[in-house]
A and B are shown apart, each in its own frame.
Chain A
Amino acid sequence: MSRIIGIDLGTTNSLVAYVDETSGLPRVIPDADGRALLPSIVGWAPEGLIVGEAARRQLARRPKDTVYSVKRLMGRGYEDVKDELAYLPFEVVPADGTVRLRVGGREVTPPEVSAAVLKALKERAERHFGEPVEKAVITVPAYFNDAQRQATRDAGRIAGLDVVRIVNEPTAASLAYGLQRLQEGVIAVYDLGGGTFDVSILRVKDGVFEVLATNGDTHLGGDDLDRVLMLWLLEDIQARHHVELDRQCVELSRDPEVMQELRLAAEAAKIRLSAEERTTLTLPLPGFTYRRTVTRVEIERLIEPLVAKTLGPCRRALADAGLSAADIDQVVLVGGSTRVPLVRRRVQELFGKAPHSQLNPDEVVALGAAVQAQILAGGITNMLLLDVTPLSLGIESLGGIVNVLIPRNTTIPTSAREMFTTSVDGQTLVDLHVVQGERELVKDCRSLGRFELRIEPMPAGLPKIEVTFLIDANGILQVHAKEQRSGKAASIEVKPTYGLSEAEVDRMIEDSFTYAEADVETRMLIEARNEADTVLTHAGRALRQGASLVPAVERESIEAAVTSLRAARDSDDRDRIHEATTAVNRATEHLAEVMMDAALKGALGSKRASEILKEPE
């Protein structure tokens, strides 16, 4: 088995980790500057695509071309996310059920943006190991639905990775803890990240990590804490500085640069307030500087409703596991947002015990992904993770009612078989609408897709089509169908509601390679042209100023070289531009020397330039 890396593809930050063979412990791979976290930010800049810290630095400068928190858009439809688009500075447009981003002069899908982050991590790992890395385990929030999981796997494929497993973040974290710090018993993992919240209840026994129940909210995280603080600050600025704002006709909320500055300032203040009781926030704005003190009491009042929103899923997970808070032996905190003191207090109150947070909450998911990767590579044989599917899976039946096939919190892999027949003579198509969710009506659940089964024409009611719905170990649905009388597999056409088709993913994989090469090619071409322009400018000036200093034949040869460079410059042939540039340089060499001499003679008398240059100081 070749090497498999573990990747935490986060809303705010992403990491890559592996299990060190000598110690048997998972380790995060840092970048060249020693940083473990790669900001999940992708920017389109004149010099090309940039990822991570560099992209973060241009957030306020190029808000429309810098994408952050794209995880919130993965596997989502326009309707799902349109309410929060007002807060995103980049343009998001609907496209065939999913969304696309208009950035850097083109349209990209969320998986392509995530792929850029994954590629950066892949390259980081390859530099670390000094060899190509092709396989990865990638984590997702436990409460991610099928479409969100598929979008994540697509992102991996676009990045050139074989995604051997999609693993849930809280369970990954439990593996990292389990390796060294966990006693056997029932544990609750509370995972509040940048954009998502998960809670999982597990039983750990004899090296088996059996998830009993999971719950969560895929749209609740640190981003939302930042937002309430940001909106509160915005109101405060408008109230206190309306005179300055009116005078300059500035409407802050319509200025994406200012809103980014404000968001970053809010995030930084929130982070400082986890360690301090009060902090001062300074924000240079057009025409004045906004400065105020924010206290922990103030921020806690603002975020309290959001923190309270996490407790419902905790109670539901406990109920689904058939347990009460008192049955939980240990609580583990995961995700950067669990550094917020209010979050810790509420978790402690709910479970009635102090939570574990010895492992860095930013790193623990990546470490767990590395452990799962090592299990899959065969390097760890005594641990086994038995995870569950977070949402019930069903098909649409008469009257728009959901007929549940696989209830939520079923251990995966899991399959359900259902027999279908036809209602009309000669019917050759059976259409199955598969949904995910806990509500009774199809319209209240999430549509995963339509599966069209094609069969031979037969009298109504005669065909017996056995359909198998399999949720694999990644939590992703596979559907197979067989007509029982003929024993033939029925052909299935899948129409995903919120996803990319196989063909689209394949095209993106190809595009990603062509773009990558084209990017390098283009950059080098632009550099060659820039150089040609510089040389042409110099040559033109030399000819104008020094034409009388050299014989006509030399002038003509320079003019010929310049003409051919002018022609080459506008071609796409980088080598030709280079050659022509070199030719002009060579042709003007003598003229340049003569001109230099002339200039120096004028200044210093009759010495040759070379003699002056050789003189010691």
Chain B
Amino acid sequence: MNFFEVFELPRRLAVDGDELQRRFYALARRTHPDFHQGVPVAERAAVEERAALVNAAYRTLRDPIARADYLVRLEEGRTTREGGGESRPKAPPALLAEMFEIQEALAEAKAGPLDDSARAGLVEQRQALEARHAAEEARVRGPLAARWDAASPEERPAALAALKDALATRAYLRTVIADLAEALGEEEPGVAHHRH
């Protein structure tokens, strides 16, 4: 059962948040292990799994970006992740040239202490990247999601590919922004390295 089916929703990216929450609470009341204490030991894992599915579905669908990302994976039939693989997104080809400069600056920052102008440069670059990141998210949430929802069966592959590209760009931008923050020494130790 996929996440859309869990909530009896069509495979569309426009989702009413309040309605989703209402359905989630109703489903949680039916599936949460609290209300299935009497089941035999052998069935307990199945009870936990069922509740886990509802929780995962809600967590994914309530967030527009996670929802789009899930839809792409669902359409491509890769909802189970491959283990031991890449944990860092690759640079999308379109960004490669642009990112070259930033990677240089990052390598320099790693090599030694930052002087004021190098620091100001990194701060500026990060601001630019954050703006791009926000723009990419807005594109996924807005026009690209609408395009998928409106697409005819023939238009779907192209709509999906556009979503996929935008998501890949966004994911990559996030890692570079995190690298920049680290180079600037802004990361509090022990905090928030895994961003989603």
Asked if residues B87 and A401 are in contact (CB atoms below 8 Å), the reply is yes
Q: In the complex, which residues 123-166 of chain B have their Cβ closer than 8 Å to any Cβ of chain A?
A: none
Asked if residues A417 and B81 are in contact (CB atoms below 8 Å), the reply is yes
A41, CB-defined interface residue at 8 Å: no
Q: How many A-B residue pairs have CB under 8 A?
A: 110
B117, CB-defined interface residue at 8 Å: no
A203 nearest in chain B by CB position: B21
Interface string of A396-429 (1 = CB under 8 A from B): 0110011111011011111111111100000000
A414–B80 alpha-carbon span in the complex (Å) = 14
Contact of B37 among A1, A392, A410 (CB under 8 A): A1
Q: In the complex, which residues 168-196 of chain B have their Cβ closer than 8 Å to any Cβ of chain A?
A: 188, 190-194, 196
A452, CB-defined interface residue at 8 Å: no
Asked if residues B87 and A397 are in contact (CB atoms below 8 Å), the reply is yes
B-to-A contact residues, CB < 8 Å: 25, 28-29, 32-35, 37-38, 45, 48-49, 51-53, 55-56, 58-59, 80-85, 87, 188, 190-194, 196
How far in angstroms is the closest Cβ of chain B from A424? 13
B87 nearest in chain A by CB position: A403
With A384-B34, A419-B83, A420-B84 already in contact, the answer to whether A404 and B194 are too (CB < 8 A) is: yes
- Supplied contacts A384-B25, A403-B83, A439-B193, 20 more A-B pairs, CB within 8 Å: A205-B25, A206-B25, A208-B29, A316-B191, A375-B34, A386-B32, A386-B55, A397-B84, A402-B194, A407-B194, A410-B59, A411-B59, A413-B48, A413-B49, A415-B56, A418-B81, A418-B82, A421-B83, A438-B193, A473-B51
A551, CB-defined interface residue at 8 Å: no
Asked if residues B55 and A412 are in contact (CB atoms below 8 Å), the reply is yes
A-to-B contact residues, CB < 8 Å: 1, 164, 205-206, 208, 312, 316, 319, 375-378, 381, 384-386, 392, 394-395, 397-398, 401-405, 407-408, 410-421, 438-440, 444, 466-468, 470, 472-473, 478, 480
B196 nearest in chain A by CB position: A407
With A316-B192, A439-B190 already in contact, the answer to whether A378 and B33 are too (CB < 8 A) is: no
Asked if residues B38 and A440 are in contact (CB atoms below 8 Å), the reply is no
How far in angstroms is the closest Cβ of chain A from B87? 5
20 pairs, CB–CB < 8 Å, chain A vs chain B: A375-B34, A376-B37, A377-B37, A384-B25, A384-B28, A397-B84, A397-B87, A410-B59, A411-B59, A413-B51, A414-B52, A417-B81, A418-B82, A419-B80, A419-B81, A420-B83, A420-B84, A440-B193, A466-B80, A470-B48
B79 nearest in chain A by CB position: A417
List the B side residues contacting A1 at CB < 8 Å: 37-38
Asked if residues B84 and A398 are in contact (CB atoms below 8 Å), the reply is yes
B55 nearest in chain A by CB position: A411
List the B side residues contacting A414 at CB < 8 Å: 52, 55-56
How far in angstroms is the closest Cβ of chain B from A2? 11
A472 nearest in chain B by CB position: B48
How far in angstroms is the closest Cβ of chain B from A316? 6
List the B side residues contacting A316 at CB < 8 Å: 191-192
A466–B194 alpha-carbon span in the complex (Å) = 24
A117–B51 alpha-carbon span in the complex (Å) = 33
A139–B81 alpha-carbon span in the complex (Å) = 34
List the A side residues contacting B48 at CB < 8 Å: 413, 415, 470, 472-473, 478
A407 nearest in chain B by CB position: B196
A609–B51 alpha-carbon span in the complex (Å) = 85
List the A side residues contacting B38 at CB < 8 Å: 1
A206–B187 alpha-carbon span in the complex (Å) = 38
How far in angstroms is the closest Cβ of chain A from B6? 14
How far in angstroms is the closest Cβ of chain B from A282? 42
A415–B48 alpha-carbon span in the complex (Å) = 9
Asked if residues B45 and A384 are in contact (CB atoms below 8 Å), the reply is no
List the B side residues contacting A420 at CB < 8 Å: 83-84
A381–B37 alpha-carbon span in the complex (Å) = 13
A208 nearest in chain B by CB position: B25
Asked if residues B33 and A473 are in contact (CB atoms below 8 Å), the reply is yes
List the B side residues contacting A466 at CB < 8 Å: 80
List the B side residues contacting A208 at CB < 8 Å: 25, 28-29
A319–B190 alpha-carbon span in the complex (Å) = 15
B189 nearest in chain A by CB position: A439
Asked if residues B29 and A418 are in contact (CB atoms below 8 Å), the reply is no
Please give me the 8 A-B residue pairs with the lowest Cβ-Cβ distance, nearest first: A415-B52, A418-B83, A420-B83, A411-B55, A413-B52, A413-B48, A403-B87, A473-B33
List the A side residues contacting B193 at CB < 8 Å: 438-440
Contact of B32 among A384, A402, A404 (CB under 8 A): A384
List the A side residues contacting B59 at CB < 8 Å: 410-411
List the A side residues contacting B87 at CB < 8 Å: 397, 401-404
A417–B83 alpha-carbon span in the complex (Å) = 9
A472–B48 alpha-carbon span in the complex (Å) = 6
A164–B196 alpha-carbon span in the complex (Å) = 32
With A415-B52, A470-B45, A473-B32 already in contact, the answer to whether A438 and B80 are too (CB < 8 A) is: no
List the B side residues contacting A419 at CB < 8 Å: 80-83
List the B side residues contacting A384 at CB < 8 Å: 25, 28-29, 32, 34
Contact of A403 among B80, B84, B191, B192 (CB under 8 A): B84
A377–B37 alpha-carbon span in the complex (Å) = 8
How far in angstroms is the closest Cβ of chain A from B62? 11
How far in angstroms is the closest Cβ of chain A from B110? 14
A336–B95 alpha-carbon span in the complex (Å) = 55
B50 nearest in chain A by CB position: A413
With A410-B59, A413-B51, A438-B194 already in contact, the answer to whether A472 and B81 are too (CB < 8 A) is: no
Asked if residues A385 and B34 are in contact (CB atoms below 8 Å), the reply is yes
A440 nearest in chain B by CB position: B193
Asked if residues B194 and A392 are in contact (CB atoms below 8 Å), the reply is yes
A444–B189 alpha-carbon span in the complex (Å) = 10
Contact of A418 among B58, B80, B194 (CB under 8 A): B80
A579–B85 alpha-carbon span in the complex (Å) = 77
List the B side residues contacting A478 at CB < 8 Å: 45, 48
B33 nearest in chain A by CB position: A473
Asked if residues B58 and A415 are in contact (CB atoms below 8 Å), the reply is no
With A413-B48, A472-B33 already in contact, the answer to whether A397 and B55 are too (CB < 8 A) is: no
List the A side residues contacting B196 at CB < 8 Å: 407
Asked if residues A415 and B49 are in contact (CB atoms below 8 Å), the reply is yes
Contact of A417 among B45, B51, B80, B192 (CB under 8 A): B80
Asked if residues B28 and A386 are in contact (CB atoms below 8 Å), the reply is yes
Asked if residues B83 and A467 are in contact (CB atoms below 8 Å), the reply is yes
A616–B21 alpha-carbon span in the complex (Å) = 91
Asked if residues B33 and A413 are in contact (CB atoms below 8 Å), the reply is yes
A480–B34 alpha-carbon span in the complex (Å) = 22
How far in angstroms is the closest Cβ of chain A from B56? 6
A194–B2 alpha-carbon span in the complex (Å) = 45
A1–B36 alpha-carbon span in the complex (Å) = 11
